[in-house]
Structure 1
Amino acid sequence: MYKLESRTTSACISLVARNACRHTRCFHATSIPKARPAPKPSPKVRAKLGPQPGVIRIKKTPAIEDSLPPLVLLESGRKSGVLRIEPEAALEFLRQYMQSTTKPSGTWEQKLCDEHDVDPGTLSVIGGILRRSQSKAQLILAKKVMLTASALGDKPATLEIVSEALRTGKLDDYTAPLQQLGLLAKKDNDPQALTLLGKVYYVRRSNKEALECFRKATRPPTGSLDFDGAGDALVFEGQILLASNDKDGAKAAFEKAAKELDEPAAYFYLSKLQEPGSSQEQVYLLKAASSGITEAWHNLGALELAKQKGSRTKKSATLADFGMASEWFQVAAADGFGLSMLNLALMCKSVGKIEEGMKWLEKAEENVEVRDQARAIKSQFHNDKVGAI
């Protein structure tokens, strides 16, 4: 029997616990037009002569024109009112921007923006348009432009850069944007900045500072719930309190997020605070699942399976015999949830579909979180005692 574990869920088919460029330049002899080419020296002669002139290798860099966004995207932005300057003016600005990056000096970004009447917000919009272009050269330029917009005080650019750094785990590569985020949060008490800064603290395991940021974002006199991301702040607050065994405080935070802001993740965490197998647990899981919370799909499958184990008297012949348990696991597994893949593999085994079960195990092996469990089950998959229902 194998015990399958994850951050929020522990599950096994037999024991389900729900809560758990290169460029060359040639030099030619032009003073003797009809000169015969010199014979090729032997290897020994070449070794004596050492490196010969003739080819200079230069590191390949994207051409400026290849880094510019398509004119059609700029025109679209202009027509929609998002882009404040004319498309051709934006292209000329970017050409000079790229030329300036080769020999930066002083406050060149601000001077260049002033010369072209480009404010930080417009710079951020241009960066966003560049990102839609998708070529490597354009994406490199987009990153530089967004960093400049952030350095010049554009809030959306700062929030976007730090959010991306959080997703990719590269916070240490963005010191300047993090400083800008700190100014927005601590000096201006901006609720979105406070929430994002709280997430930074949370990832760095500074829960005390994270909790302070989340509460300042959502509570008077500095905050409220009237901003995009308030539900996130409350859910993170609840997670921190839950980790410190303050279940009442955690429940209050989750309920506020769920009942006042209809936050899907809050419903999921509330389900974990209910009596296992209760109708209220299922209600909260259904609310979370209807909003696309993958783990809620899995846990609903676990609930259904637990009910069947208490009433089923004969061995299942097909997956259909598992009813909604099979349905929920398949939805979660299709979305990449490893534990559901394992459960489906064992279900398949129990009804004699060994080949189909092995396919689910192979998919589970690609999931880092359940790779070891998948390999362990796979090694004994033909053992009749493994995965008995």
Structure 2
Amino acid sequence: MSGEGERGDRVVTVPNALSVLRLALVPVFLYVLLVAKADGWAFAILIASGFSDWLDGKIARWLDQSSSLGALLDPLADRIYIIAIPLAFGIRGFIPWWLIGIIVARDVLLALQVPLLRRRGIVALPVLYVGKAATFALMSAFPWILFGQLDNVAGRIALPFGWALLIWGVAMYLWTFLLYWYQTVLVMRAPADDRRPSVRTARADPLPLSPTKGRQVAESNVPEDLRYTVEHEWVVKVDETTVRVGITDYAQDQLGDVVFVQLPGAGESVTTGESFAEVESTKSVSDIYSPLDGEVVAVNDALEASPDLVNSDAYGAGWLAELRVGSGTADDLLGTLLDAAAYTEQISG
């Protein structure tokens, strides 16, 4: 585990071009739906926009073209569509204005969090998976509702399906609104120098881990039944081909309060010595390096809501991911790593 550099600052990338295209389609969609009243073409634009949203994320991972600009453009496009489409649907009479008010008010009220969080040096609260699900449900509902305006059998089937997605999406939208504001209240109630869990902070300078200086490393902090890497990850056997990985007690102590953990997705490939996860504390952003060539089979979803588990239970509830060994067995891998005595000697310096 070591300090991480900044996210790529490339501007001209394929994902960014797709995000710009999505934004450019917003006024086109509004004209086609409200002025030309060409519902079929408006439906096609929504489908194209949704496909490009899916595609830009895939391309960013396939071509390693993630960028700071892309991280801004993609959610911006989502927010604009989620406000523009309901307003247009309201003008056309497709959905009631009270429902539109809920959707728009939620985003406006969440925007009021920004100055409050910035006072504590917090860039943003972490994205909740239920929030992603809500956005997906809403963006899926809109094309179905639009298609449901057709006076035929297909339209009559599509409309109730679209309404089901819309109601479910709005319910999750309201739930995430409450969760985000609950987190904001916790942040504001905490002392100014006490960064609460589950927030991304602006203070994230790389913190290289070095041997302890006078710190007594207790044997209980280096369990005998685990194996360790020189980068301060611990590894334990789950079954014949799978291991569980986390960061050591020494590492979490050096990093300080962990406020955000970015984990890979199940099914992603990992390579020995390459970063596959990221831990952010109030002191640094640090990469987590894979101890093997293989595949991610599970991640610790509890860290999304409670990243401080890495501090409070580094060897238990604070685990990061489970990896399947690409070749050989878990025992073969463990035999190449440091045992407790060797790791204790390393960190004692």
The structure whose RCO (Cα within 8 Å, separation 6+) is larger is 2
TM-score category, normalised to shorter length: under 0.3
TM-score, normalization by structure 1 = 0.24
| Structure with greater proportional strand content | 2
TM-score, normalization by structure 2 = 0.26
| Structure with greater proportional helix content | 1
